[in-house]
A = this chain, B = another copy of it.
Amino acid sequence: MPRRADAPPKTYTACALIIGNEILSGRVQDENVAFLAKGLNEAGIRLREVRVIPDDTDAIVATVNEVRRKFDYVFTTGGIGPTHDDITAECIAEAFAVKLILHPEAKRLLEGHYPPGAVNEARMRMAHMPEGATLLPNPISRAPGFRIDNVYVLAGVPQIMQATFRELSHNLKGGAKMLSRSVSCGLGEGVLAKGLAELQARYNDLDIGSYPYFRRADFGVTLVVRGTDRDRLLTATDEVRMLIRTLGGDPQDGASED
């Protein structure tokens, strides 16, 4: 059945899978989620869920198979290097029930990057991909990521992940970008809550979030209004500022995304 002309446009969704014991042990602070969230929004795609899972075959295979069916896109980070704990490629092959093969183009890229003879067996592991995967460029250290169906497999090292994502993001199909405005003030959340709930009810096409902060002696709340319609967003943000003034606060504009 054709979509009715007044049906809402499709919302494209994504899940990020952060694969790595180092995040779960607290040794490393993840930097990839915030980057992916912003980059996906630029492409009109909403990051709807993030999972951080260990370097464990069962966990990776089960999670990939669950989330690739639930979301339009899945982006994994981590586990595609040359060492024994890099098992993402073989897990993705297992999840898709395809063979892990030596990809000729990936092999060529690695052989062009390293000095003659330096592409040992371990490094050649990085040229192994699930059958049917297409390569994703790595402008930094050449060993490519790959895509199979709606799953994009990226490096864990932030610089490489970001460079690869920047190149692939032009080809992602998305919908309307989420725009946002933020306004902060020194009022307590409890003082604002009733008026905010009323505003949220009237602007139910927008998402109004309330985030308290504590910085040294300073405390207050940042109110964030998000939505795809700029006019509605600006009108609602004006109402947020008015609400703050009515309650005796001093609204301070913060970050906005256009």
Output the least CB separation between A113 and chain B (Å): 11
Task: Please indicate the chain B residues that have their CB under 8 angstroms from the CB of A213 in the complex.
Answer: 157
CA distance A21 to B47 in the complex (A): 9
- Chain A residues bordering chain B, tally (CB within 8 A): 69
Output the least CB separation between A209 and chain B (Å): 5
Work out how many copies of this chain go into the complex. 2
Q: Verify if A9 is at the interface (C-beta below 8 Å from B).
A: no
Residues of A13-58 whose CB lies within 8 A of B: 18, 21-31, 33-38, 41, 46-55
A33 touches B52 (CB 8 A): yes
A157 touches B212 (CB 8 A): yes
Residues of A169-204 whose CB lies within 8 A of B: 178, 180, 182, 189-194, 196-197, 200
Task: Please indicate the chain B residues that have their CB under 8 angstroms from the CB of A33 in the complex.
Answer: 23, 26, 30, 52
Task: Please indicate the chain B residues that have their CB under 8 angstroms from the CB of A84 in the complex.
Answer: 193, 196-197, 200, 208, 210
- Given A123-B190, A190-B122, answer yes or no on A25-B50 (Cβ-Cβ < 8 Å): no
Q: Verify if A235 is at the interface (C-beta below 8 Å from B).
A: no
